[in-house]
Structure 1
Amino acid sequence: MSLREVAREVGIAAQSMYLHFADKEQLARAVAEDGYQRVVAAMRDADAQAAAHGADAGERLRAQANAFCTFARTERGVIRLMFGHNASGFGELGQTHPARLLWQQWLDAIHAGEEEGLRWPDGAEQTAILLWSALFGRFALWTSTFGRHDAQELTTFVDRTVDTLLRDAHR
């Protein structure tokens, strides 16, 4: 899709797009960056709400994992752009890849468990990778599983995945 097509779709003059974005790659990066910021904000909000209700780190992790999946489910186009094949170039030219923000959020969520005495068998980073990979992978399968798009399936998967991580952690 060209910048002209984007401008036409959103109802503005094509010249207006070029005032803000040099090309569609720059626009894609801006949309992806915004997506990473919004998903992390949703995760932080879920964490804060769970904490306000007295949840422990495990329940707060579950809340954040569900917030991630809810964002992915409701913002499919943005998620595709954030993790699409063209996203690999977002970190070029000395720029930090915008996914770093989301990675840090996953790490912070796992470290919160450590602060409450949980010890992850494979360490914090591997646990964060496992969780993020499992959730994103299940979401990708969910979106392409023969038209079955029951949101409860994702929630059930999140619960089972977090339960497994917490069961394997030790104090």
Structure 2
Amino acid sequence: MTTRRRARSPRGAGEILAEEIIEAAGELLVEHGDDTAMSIRAVANRVGVTPPSIYLHFADKDALLDAVCARYFARLDDQLAAATEGIDDPLDRALKLGLAYIRFAVATPVLYRVAFGKPADAAHPSKVDQVLAASAYTRFVDTVAELADEGMFGHDEVNEVVLELWAAAHGVASLMLAKPGLGWGDEFVRAESMLKAVCLGRALMSGHADFRDPATARTWLETLRSR
């Protein structure tokens, strides 16, 4: 275990110490693969301070974990922005957002698992929830709203479609992490196919209420194939 020697901090350096604590906690998470080894004492040793110094910034281990994961998801917004830069078509952008989300999760499995390892409290949103609401979720909402403007979905369906798209991306990412040998294909081709199915399938059901009936949908597909 690495222990840093730390000189006495100058007055006003509390924010710097908090950043070092978050960084050290994140390092421990990644090194050990889960949060079992990320105790307050272990983080204090890594930073080079005493455990009470940690508690001045974070009430307990859960609060520190929340801060670490919030920092992690703040980086996701940069990845989403880069993946969709210059893409004007909202459908293409929606798919790129979903794929960027999946790639980010697969590239950082430990932090992703920890971030979603505990149930959310709707009455008291965590820092992770706040970061997602202000970044990734907003990007999905804005893009799906553009699709609604084009008539692909109803404007009253935007939040539903966003939830379904996010659920698909999260489900694919979680399954890729848990079962990497299932044949996902190079460049996430299977993940992209599933995201397209969600977007286009939802658009069909939105525009044609009869398609919600399996028999009607099957008849329509058979007619389409016969052409």
**TM-score range normalised by the length of the shorter chain:** 0.7 to 0.9
Partner residue of 1:124?
158
Partner residue of 1:27?
64
**Higher Rg:** 2
Partner residue of 2:181?
148
Quote the offset at 1:35 in angstroms: 2.4
Partner residue of 1:44?
81
The ranges of structure 1 where at least 4 consecutive aligned residues each deviate by more than 4 angstroms after the TM superposition are 93-96
Query: Unpaired segments of 5 or more residues in structure 1?
Result: none
Partner residue of 1:5?
42
> TM-score w.r.t. structure 1 length?
0.76
**Quick check: 36-45 or 159-168, which moved more?**
159-168
Partner residue of 1:161?
194
Query: Unpaired segments of 5 or more residues in structure 2?
Result: 1-37, 208-227
Conserved in 2, the CA contact under 8 Å of 1:7 and 1:17? yes
Conserved in 2, the CA contact under 8 Å of 1:90 and 1:97? no
Select which of 133, 136, 140 maps to 2:170: 136
Q: Within 1, Cα distance between the matches of 2:151 and 2:142?
A: 13
Select which of 97, 101, 105 maps to 1:64: 97
Q: 1:126 to 1:20 in 2, by over 3 A?
A: same
Alpha-carbon RMSD across the aligned residues, in angstroms, is 3.1
The one-letter code sitting in structure 2 at the alignment partner of 1:6 is: V
Quote the offset at 1:79 in angstroms: 1.2
Q: How many residues align?
A: 162
Quote the offset at 1:14 in angstroms: 3.8
Describe the superposition over 1:42-81 as per-residue Cα deviations: whole angstroms up to 9, x where unpaired. Answer: 112222x242xxx411111121111101110111122112
The one-letter code sitting in structure 2 at the alignment partner of 1:92 is: H
Higher relative contact order (CA 8 A, sep 6+): 1
Q: Within 1, Cα distance between the matches of 2:40 and 2:126?
A: 25
Q: Within 2, Cα distance between the matches of 1:155 and 1:89?
A: 32
Matched, 1:109 2:143: yes
> TM-score w.r.t. structure 2 length?
0.59
Q: Within 1, Cα distance between the matches of 2:128 and 2:109?
A: 23
**Quick check: 63-72 or 96-105, which moved more?**
96-105
Q: Within 2, Cα distance between the matches of 1:63 and 1:96?
A: 22
Q: Percent identity?
A: 22
Q: 1:95 to 1:57 in 2, by over 3 A?
A: closer
Q: Within 1, Cα distance between the matches of 2:68 and 2:182?
A: 25
Q: Within 2, Cα distance between the matches of 1:153 and 1:137?
A: 18
